[in-house]
């Protein structure tokens, strides 16, 4: 059996949520998507996420929400992280941190699918090793399913690529998030793991990584503190569709997708 999984890049603010509301279910139906993962750490005004917004995203057809270094920006998310297993925080935060970094959840076809959320260390704040964290999680999650997806939320392309090679043959896909710019390096690695360095951004693309151009330029030119408001134009969904063999857990294909407002 072939399992079609859609993985959506960083959702930025209200514009990102609006295009998902308008387009996601149509895309899921048209592409026969069985499971949908999305990074939602910027879904609340461009920084953080709340329980209410997470519920909104789930209602649009998303099955699991991953996050990253902005997971704690909105304190309203804390109760949801404690109670909703489908909202993840990076697994390599302290084991004393609220929430979990992985989950196993059934697809629309009934297949158990594992999702692991990791956070990079290069050019990021100090955090536990994501490579060792993945090893520990796979000891447990591999007993439940062969279909496993990893969101590697990281700044450095090299660290994301390294994680892809490290987990090749152990998971179905490793996808990068955080930098908001889609990369053109999607591939199937030799042992059957799909990989891409960055999924891109779901939100306003007439912007600087989702923020209003004039605000970012003011901050850069003047070197003064400036509010980075979320932009509003040229809204797109960015991500990949991965087709996985349910028996082996190996990826058979990975394809970049982009959905625009006018599509």
pLDDT tens-digit series, residues 139-183: 999 999 999 999 999 999 999 999 999 999 999 999 999 999 999
pLDDT at 74: 97
pLDDT at 163: 98
Contacts (Cβ under 8 Å, ≥6 apart) of 226:
215, 216, 218, 219
- Residue 190's domain comprises 2-260
Number of structural domains, the chain? 1
Strand 112-119 relative to strand 201-204, pairing = unpaired
What pLDDT, in 10s, does the model give residues 211-255? 999 999 999 999 999 999 999 999 999 999 999 999 999 999 999
Catalytic residue numbers read 70
What pLDDT, in 10s, does the model give residues 94-139? 999 999 999 999 999 999 999 999 999 999 999 999 999 999 999 9
pLDDT at 68: 98
Which DSSP helix (H) or strand (E) runs through 54? Answer: helix 51-59
The residue among 259, 261, 229 whose CA lies nearest residue 38 is: 259
The domain that contains 51 carries what CATH number?
3.60.21.10
**87 DSSP 8-state letter:** B
pLDDT at 248: 97
Mean pLDDT of 67-96: 97
Q: CA-to-CA distance for 235 and 189, rounded, in angstroms?
A: 31
Which DSSP helix (H) or strand (E) runs through 55? Answer: helix 51-59
pLDDT at 257: 97
**230 DSSP 8-state letter:** B
Cβ 163 vs Cβ 175: under 8 Å: no
Q: CA-to-CA distance for 31 and 102, rounded, in angstroms?
A: 26
Instruction: State the pLDDT confidence band at 262, using cuts at 50, 70 and 90.
Output: confident
Q: CA-to-CA distance for 38 and 24, rounded, in angstroms?
A: 11
């Amino acid at each position: 059996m072939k399992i079609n999984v859609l993985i959506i890049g960083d959702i930025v603010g209200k514009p990102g949520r609006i295009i998902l509301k308008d387009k996601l279910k149509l895309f899921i139906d048209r592409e026969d998507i069985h499971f949908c993962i999305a990074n939602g750490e910027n879904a609340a005004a461009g920084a953080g996420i709340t329980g209410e917004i997470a519920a909104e995203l789930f209602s649009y057809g998303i099955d699991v929400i991953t996050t990253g270094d902005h997971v704690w920006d909105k304190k309203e998310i804390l109760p949801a992280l404690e109670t909703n297993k489908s909202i993840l925080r990076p697994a390599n935060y302290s084991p004393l941190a609220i929430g979990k970094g992985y989950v196993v959840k059934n697809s629309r076809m009934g297949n158990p699918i594992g999702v692991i959320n990791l956070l990079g260390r290069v050019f990021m704040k100090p955090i536990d090793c994501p490579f060792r964290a993945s090893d520990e999680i796979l000891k447990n999650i591999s007993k439940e399913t062969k279909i496993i997806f990893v969101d590697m939320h990281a700044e450095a392309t090299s660290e994301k690529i390294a994680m892809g090679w490290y987990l090749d043959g152990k998971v179905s896909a490793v996808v990068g998030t955080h930098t908001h710019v889609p990369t053109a390096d999607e591939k199937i690695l030799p042992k059957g793991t799909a990989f891409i360095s960055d999924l891109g951004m779901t939100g306003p693309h007439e912007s600087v990584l989702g923020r209003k151009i004039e605000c970012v330029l003011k901050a850069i030119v003047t070197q003064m503190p400036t509010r980075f408001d979320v932009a509003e134009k040229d809204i797109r969904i960015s991500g990949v569709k991965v087709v996985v063999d349910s028996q082996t857990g190996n990826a058979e294909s990975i394809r970049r997708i982009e959905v625009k407002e006018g599509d």
